[in-house]
Chains A and B, each alone.
Chain A
Amino acid sequence: AGFIKSPLSQKRLTQDSVELYCEAIGNPIPEIQWWFEGNDPNETYAQLWDGARQDRVKINATYNLHSTSTISIANLTGDDSGMYECRASNDPDRNHLSKSPKVKWIRSQANVFVIERPEIATQVTESSGKLTLSCNMSAPHPTITGHKWIHRNNVVEQDETSGGFTSYTINGKREEHSGVYECVYEANPQIRGQVNISVPPQVTAYKKSEHGNEGDTGVLTCKNPSFPAVTTWSWYKSGHGVSAGNASGRYIIKSSGNKTELRILKLDIEQDTGDYFCNGTNSYGTGDATVNLRVRSRLAALWPFLGIVAEVLVLVTIIFIYEKRRKPDEVPD
């Protein structure tokens, strides 16, 4: 038996998770076990199993053409620091309680360091049309080589300074720039802090005025692009002062965190024309928008159509009469 891939030593922060990966070949296929030795001087190697340490340890092993095993430990604590060993053997007597195996278990080690997660104090300040987000990391912390700010999976700012304090300035108001921002400290390991700009829902109508044909289905849409997402949507209607729900059976409301759709089946010119209000609520407040619906009569396009057809007939008649009067004896080809 021999190792194709050995586990790698890593540094992690508390509350993070770590994954160690080990691969071995042999004939017959070897078995892989994970053993751990803590940093205490008196500690000796003890085996890890799937579900150990209050179910924080997960071991996933496959034994196809060769053996692979992945151990992952979630929610790390300082006591998880130490030496992790991947052991493999294909000796049939390897787990025998009394006999000692002919061939020893081969071992590969990896060191896992769990460092206390430094505290990051985050802050959002707003002044004179600018927003300033800041992260301040308290000592002790590993050596920092640079900072990055990430918003919606884009890197919006980065530098290579080494301080524990980093800030990012945006021009505008809170309502326009809501969302999740991450301040990333480049170090070993990488440390991330999260700054949220939270606002009440900035609800807007997809289209301020909508049209629908009589008898068709009308769709009114409102959206909320801001953070955090809306927890409750509701629709109201003026002109009748009735709160639109699923009462009449003609209304269907489909909502998600950032969009809501009100569908009205079998539009009626009198009943359904008017202003509709959509209202969205989250833990920071509410917001609403107005959508105006106009229902067209089925025959609305008919009058312009007939008018234009009449005009065309008149023009063609005039042209032919003019031609006949100019040359009454011409026989066309």
Chain B
Amino acid sequence: SPAMPAPGPPDGGWGWVVLFGAFVSIGFAYAFPKGLAIFFKEIQDFFGTSYSEIAWVSSIMLATTYGAGPISSILVSRYGSRPVVMFGGLLCGLGMVSAAFCTSILQLYICVGFITGFGLALNLQPSVIIVGKYFLKRRPIANGLAMAGSPVMLCTLAPLNQFLFDNFGWRGSFLILGAILLHCCVAGALFRPIGAGTARVKTHVTEEVKDALKGKITEDGPMENKTEEEGGKDCFEKVNQYLDFSLFKHRGFLIYLIGNVLMFLGFFAPIVFLAPYAKHMGIDEYSAAFLLSILAIVDMVARPVTGIIANSKWVRPRIQYFFSFAIAFNGACHLLCPLASSYTGLVVYSSFFGLAFGMVCAMLFETLMDLVGAARFTSAVGLVTIAECCTILLGPPVGGILIDTFGDYKYMFIKCGAVMVLAGTFLFIMNYYNYRMLAKEEKERRTKEEDLKSVRTENEGTKDSTQDGLELEPLREKGEGVKKEMNDT
């Protein structure tokens, strides 16, 4: 194979430090909105609003964190992960500190919801991106460990928030939480930039993509966020330089997008309603809260373990199947939940749910990286998160409507379970198709390479293969290894 212009990812060394930083950053991004719930009752009493008005704070925060994904991706493409995360940490801190001085619920929406939410978005995406830049061979483990930050942070934040609230009231707590969020800047400082190779690859990609898109423009007319075709071309090309819209032609990306958007409809609702369901069944408040603790602890262990399993040579080439299995397993848990009639049954359900939840989360970004490659992952993650934003926000309210209409929680569990089993099956089938197409393309490309071996120059060679080649090489070797084993038996 032709020599690469840049060294591959280190898979260790400083990468472990970066992983720790990503652990902290991702942990804050996912756990912080959930941890705020402790303050809501007090704030509700202080401002005299209803519970749903307070719940909007969490929703706006979540929506901004996911919705600002593309902006985050553009900034990372332009400036790299480190400045973006540090700026994000500053923004979070600023948001919470200004929230400590708020005098109305609207100001809380802006300070806690938008500003802090945007800061967290600037934390989440770059952290995931830089893990992909520092790891290749051990990337699933790295992803699993980094995503484990979320339950660990949640378990830390929950009692910490309670302690802060008891001692300083909600305003003091927000002030101190603002300072705590500044640790995201510390995490960002650890994100030493890497990969001059990836930058060079990007410019190659841009030219190719420009041609492809010029063709697409004449075919399908204007794409999203473009006003006029002629004058807008410059602006569009500029945006496209940082946010790769040609991903929408990428088969793997589309499969991932549709499958995940579907999955998120049923992903978070069971967590939101687990404690109320337990109370509804007559279990006391502390035992109901303990169920969530069980979930978090199992989740904490499941994520790194899933990472290790996904990294093994049997699973890694077929990681998409493993991901689909995890989603379907998750759905099966929810479908079986209505059968749990006692506290022990619910404990069993929580443990399995924690396991399944951890498995899915650990591989959430790993599979996307596997499909589109580290270079295009920056744009891919932004586009995926803004698409998921809608269904994430829809999930719990739809579940709530189901519960209110039927007066019974089991329909919500059935809906979530069915949606997830459907998503898992869809992903499984489509990825089977995708693997076959990839194998076919690989075979075609190899015969073409051998034909043109004498004529080709180095430049042209790097153009095509660096995109997916970096990813396909280890996969191919492993795939061939498996094939050899099969031929032997």
Contact = CB atoms under 8 A, between A and B. Distances in A.
Given A296-B169, A308-B180, A316 B175 contact: no
B190 A300 contact: no
A283 to B, nearest CB: 34
B190 A296 contact: no
A263 B168 CA distance: 19
B82 A332 contact: yes
B172 to A, nearest CB: 3
Contact of B193 (A316, A320, A333): A333
Contacts of A323: 192
Interface string A285-323: 000000000001000111011011100100110011001
Contact of B168 (A296, A307, A308, A309): A296
A116 B70 CA distance: 83
A333 B196 contact: yes
B182 A333 contact: no
Contacts of A320: 189
User: Chain A: interface residue count, which band?
Assistant: 20 to 34
A312 B182 contact: yes
A332 B190 CA distance: 13
A211 interface: yes
Nearest to A309: B179
Nearest to B45: A219
A160 B166 CA distance: 53
Contacts of B193: 332-333
B364 interface: no
B123 to A, nearest CB: 14
Contacts of B175: 301-302, 305
Interface in A211-237: 211-213
Interface string B205-222: 000000000000000000
B199 interface: yes
Q: Which of A211, A307, A323, A333 has the most CB of B within 10 A?
A: A333
A305 B179 CA distance: 6
Nearest to B100: A301
Contacts of A301: 100, 168, 171-173, 175-176
Given A333-B193, A333-B199, A312 B185 contact: yes
A304 B176 contact: yes
Interface in B21-75: none
A319 B176 CA distance: 23
A251 B398 CA distance: 46
B194 to A, nearest CB: 8
A312 B179 contact: yes
A294 B100 CA distance: 20
Given A301-B171, A316-B186, 9 more contacts: A211-B169, A213-B171, A296-B169, A305-B179, A308-B180, A309-B179, A315-B189, A332-B82, A333-B196
Interface of B: 80, 82, 97, 100, 166-169, 171-173, 175-176, 178-180, 182-183, 185-186, 189-190, 192-193, 196, 199
17 contacts: A212-B169, A296-B169, A296-B172, A300-B168, A301-B100, A302-B175, A304-B179, A305-B175, A305-B176, A312-B186, A319-B186, A319-B189, A320-B189, A332-B80, A332-B193, A333-B193, A333-B199
